[in-house]
Amino acid sequence: MSEWYLDFVQIGYEPKENEMICIFRVEPDGISMEEAAGRVASESSVGTWTTLAKLPDRIKNLMAKVFEIDGDVVKIAYPLDLFEEGNIPQLLSSIAGNIFGMRALKNLRLEDVIFPEEYVRNFKGPQFGIEGIRKRLKIRDRPLTATVPKPKVGFDVDEYAEVAKEAWMGGIDLLKDDENLTSQNFIRFEKRIEKVMKVRDKVEAETGERKSYLVNITSECNEMLKRAKLVADYGNEYVMVDIITAGWSALQTVREECEDLKLAIHAHRAMHAAFTRNPKHGISLDVIVKLARLVGVDNMHVGTGVGKMVGKADEVRRLTDLCRNDWFHLKPVFPVSSGGLHPGLVPDIINLFGVDVIIQAGGGVHGHPKGTYAGAKALRQAIDATLQGISLEDYAESHKELKEALEKWGHLKPK
Classify 305 as helix, strand or coil: coil
92 binds ligand CAP (CB under 6 A): no
Query: Do residues 346 and 383 touch, judged by C-beta distance below 8 A?
Result: yes
Widest CA span of the chain, in angstroms?
A: 81
Shortest distance (Å) from residue 328 CB to ligand CAP = 26
Burial pattern 212-228, b for ≥16 Cβ within 10 A else e, equals bbbbbbbbebeebbbbb
Residue 150 falls in the annotated catalytic set: yes
178 binds Mg ion (CB under 5 A): yes
Q: Which does 340 bind (CB under 5 to 8 A by kind): ligand CAP, Mg ion, none?
A: ligand CAP
| Alpha-helical segments (H) within 208-325 | 221-233, 243-246, 248-261, 273-276, 285-295, 313-324
Beta bridge partners of 242: 268
- Pick 140 or 415: Cβ nearer ligand CAP: 415
Query: Do residues 330 and 123 touch, judged by C-beta distance below 8 A?
Result: yes
- Pick 227 or 268: Cβ nearer ligand CAP: 268
Among positions 165, 211, 269, 399, the unique one binding ligand CAP when judged by CB under 6 A = 269
361 binds ligand CAP (CB under 6 A): yes
Among positions 64, 95, 148, 187, the unique one binding ligand CAP when judged by CB under 6 A = 148
Residue 342 falls in the annotated catalytic set: no
- Pick 45 or 216: Cβ nearer Mg ion: 216
The amino acid at 408: K
Q: Are strands 105-114 and 282-283 parallel, antiparallel or unpaired?
A: parallel
Window contacting ligand CAP (CB under 6 A); options: 118-126, 316-324, 361-369, 385-393? 361-369
The sheet carrying 174-176 orders its strands as 212-214, 174-176, 144-147, 358-360, 334-338, 299-301, 264-268, 238-242
Binding track, positions 162-201, relative to ligand CAP; x by CB under 6 A: ----------------xx----------------------
Distance of CA 258 to the CA centre of its chain: 17
Shortest distance (Å) from residue 281 CB to ligand CAP = 20
With CB atoms as reference, the residue minimizing the distance to ligand CAP is 362
Q: What is the DSSP letter of 230?
A: H
158 contacts: CB under 8 Å, gap ≥ 6: 195
Q: Which does 341 bind (CB under 5 to 8 A by kind): Mg ion, ligand CAP, none?
A: ligand CAP
Q: Which residues bind Mg ion (CB under 5 A)?
A: 178-179
For the annotated catalytic residues, the residue numbers are 150, 268
Q: Which residues bind ligand CAP (CB under 6 A)?
A: 148, 150, 152, 178-179, 269, 301, 303, 308-309, 338-341, 360-364
